[in-house]
Amino acid sequence: MRIFAKQWVSTLLERLGMEEGVPIESKMISKRIEGAQKAVEAQNFESRKHLLEYDDVMNKQREAVYGLRRQLLEGVDQRELILEDYVGGILSGFLDEFAGEKVRPEQWNIKGLEEKFVDQFGLNLAATQIKPQELSRHELGEEIFAKLTEAYVAKEKILGAPTMRYHERMVMLSVIDGLWKDHLLSMDHLKEGISLRGYAQKDPLVEYKRESFDMFEAMMMKFQEDTVRFLFRMQILGADGQPVDAAPRPNRVVPKAPPVASAGSRRRVFVAGVERGAAADAGRGAAGNRHSQPPASTTIDALEKEFHRKKQRELEVASRSGGGEGSQPTQRRTGEKIGRNDPCPCGSGKKYKKCHGAEK
């Protein structure tokens, strides 16, 4: 009664002498109370419905951000997205700002364009030999995009494709997390004061949707710019702490094969840095009486014969020393076999097993 009934109902009950806790049996009063309860419930329902519409705006933005984060955490390749969408979109925005379609080439703000590219990509247009005054707007965009792609590919070659993909995901995750937290705080501030738009004869919900969408678009654009800036301006340090600008070239030096003299020719050849030839062979023949060991020959036939001789010597040494005691010739007995209990043939009178047979 105190919540849903109007004041006149309470006054009427007091005149009729109704006390606290007495059940109301009047149909007229019951219908009035029921109508008041429906009105209040409808008002509460509208309030909850209005609040849900505000929450739907945040929910759609949350789904977009969490969907991107899920892709990054699952390891989805983002290279094409960064180069084609992010870099292409930022480049198009710079051209619209400093070299508009309706502006003549001599009126382009080339200095401002160069400063933007240095700040965003670390790319100096003057060093790339691109002359914007001699190119159309479309050709200028194509040339700059080709240079940016070339710089990104060079950085990817230094790190390697898997490492570059990992850095892309980590940079994007770090940037989107920071921007999303700031965006949630800004949305809370917008929601607190959006009801004041009603004094200007504007629907607060419509204004909230419009401004929150603009804020979300600004956040995503900031996310793309920061991601591209961090990836393009990222410096790779070598083991000595100095920046690495190019991928190391593999050592493809093939050692030269040593020259080999044929059996029919006596040309000079170099073995272990010593020159040998026909004159050296003649000198060795003249000094044959010396005790010094003659050096090996260098012809193919002689080297093959020397190899076979060396292997033969190794086999002979192995056959002599490898058998040990078992390789000695077996001694054979020529007389009759002497029993262990027979008298010893030495004449001592003892049994063979007690005399000379005890040694065996």
Residue 266, amino acid: R
- What is each CA distance from 167 to 86, 161, 220, 231, in whole angstroms? 16, 10, 19, 8
Taking the mean position of all CA atoms in its chain, how far away is CA 271? Answer: 49
**Do residues 91 and 117 touch, judged by C-beta distance below 8 A?**
no
Residues 119/98, Cβ–Cβ less than 8 Å: no
What's the CA gap between 149 and 146, in Å, rounded?
A: 5
pLDDT for 55-76, tens place per residue? 888 899 999 999 999 999 999 9
DSSP letter for 235, please.
-
**Residue-wise over 212-250: b if at least 16 C-beta within 10 A, else e?**
beeebeebbeebbbbbbbbbbeeeeeeeeeeeeeeeeee
Cα separations in angstroms, 350 against 239, 327, 338, 339, 340: 91, 35, 13, 13, 11
Q: Which residues of the chain have pLDDT under 70?
A: 1-10, 12-13, 16-22, 24, 26, 29, 45, 47-50, 238-304, 307, 319-335, 359-360
pLDDT in tens, 130-155: 888 888 888 988 999 999 999 999 99
**Residue 232 contacts residue 246 (beta carbons within 8 Å):** no
CA nearest to 78, candidates 217, 150, 172: 172
